[in-house]
Amino acid sequence: MRLEDIPAILELEADTFSAWSREHLEDELQQQTGFQFVVRNEAAEMIQAVLCGRIMTDEAEILKLSVAEKARKKGMGYHLLDFVLNYCSAKGVKKCFLELRASNTAARNLYEKRGFFRVASRKDYYEEPVEDATVMQLEL
């Protein structure tokens, strides 16, 4: 992900429940422990997916995985997630965590397909609308 990608990512984020702001995305690019990847369709001149996370010693947390509406249900999220998990494993990560809205069955199915399992929930974690978070983990 590059600074000049942010306008396209903001468009992609407009179709999500937990959209990040320009400031949040810019801040994420400055994180020393962070990683940020995009899937870019050069022909269509669009970003199809974005994934951001952080590595702390031997653990990683996926903070954001968004796929553009037009690119959903085509394996894009799975392949980007798989790429990032291989990246994390190569960096010495042993466990990866993430959280998602409890009602987000599409995301939960994606993560379970890749081997993540539920380890906890956080009551009323999300706003607009208020909703619990499900915390998931994968051992690499």
38 in Cβ contact with 1 (< 8 Å): yes
Cα-based angle 109, 110, 112 (whole degrees, multiple of 5): 65
User: Which residues, at least 6 apart from 118, have a Cβ–Cβ distance to it below 8 Å?
Assistant: 134, 135, 136
pLDDT at 14: 83
Q: What is the pLDDT of residues 17-68, one digit of tens each?
A: 778 999 999 999 999 999 999 999 877 778 999 999 999 999 999 999 999 9
**The pLDDT of residue 133 is above 80:** yes
**The pLDDT of residue 79 is above 80:** yes
Domain enclosing residue 28, as ranges: 3-139
Query: Which CATH number goes with the domain that contains 58?
Result: 3.40.630.30
Retrieve residue 48's tokens. Answer: 């199809």
Domains of the chain: total? 1
Amino acid at residue number 74: K
Retrieve residue 23's tokens. Answer: 């400031």
The overall pTM is greater than 0.85: yes
pLDDT at 42: 79
* Cα–Cα separations (whole angstroms), residue 61 to 96, 129, 134: 6, 23, 14
